[in-house]
Structure 1
Amino acid sequence: MKLSSNQRKHLEGLAHHLEPIVRIGKQGLASKIILSVVEAFNTNELIKIKLLDSAPVDAEEAAIEICKKSGALLVRIIGRVIVLYRPFSEKPPKIELPKSR
């Protein structure tokens, strides 16, 4: 699945008020960070991840790696903040995306 620009804009608006759920620090993308992201997607469809100044990876590298390992879709990277979306697979989705044109 790929997000259209309209869907991406909708998700960006929803993510605006969210606080980062996962923080990536000096340990980088350790397996426990990926596990934290996957666990966050069990209760949330839309999450923010913050890269601290001590993180050994940049936001783009981290976003690509996390998306691969968690099955999430990248919504946007804003500075050191990553916004990801993954619809619920086992329960009805909370977020209804606008239809792509």
Structure 2
Amino acid sequence: MEITRSKEFTANRAWGAKDIASMNGITTRLHWTDQPYKWHINDGEEVFVVLDGVVKMLFKQDGQEHSTLLHVGDIFYASVGTEHVAYPQGEARILVIEKEGSV
């Protein structure tokens, strides 16, 4: 049993994470960042939940680049093969649920 106060979580580097749970090959991690990630494609599905801050999510669909702003409570689902990158607008805390060992 553990309680995590996401608004209090910080890391010593961008995209630093706290492992919350690992269940049947699926990890749940709390990330803190103030820097963009990198364009990538996960080897499985990914659920990305903004807990604090605003994140500009860029993604490619049918060969075209799109973007959307994600606010607190918004959820981004990346299906297998969805190329995407997250650009926080200042500090952000994000809950990421994905296949264990994913990029």
Give the TM-score taking structure 1 as reference length: 0.30
**Higher relative helix content:** 1
**Higher relative strand content:** 2
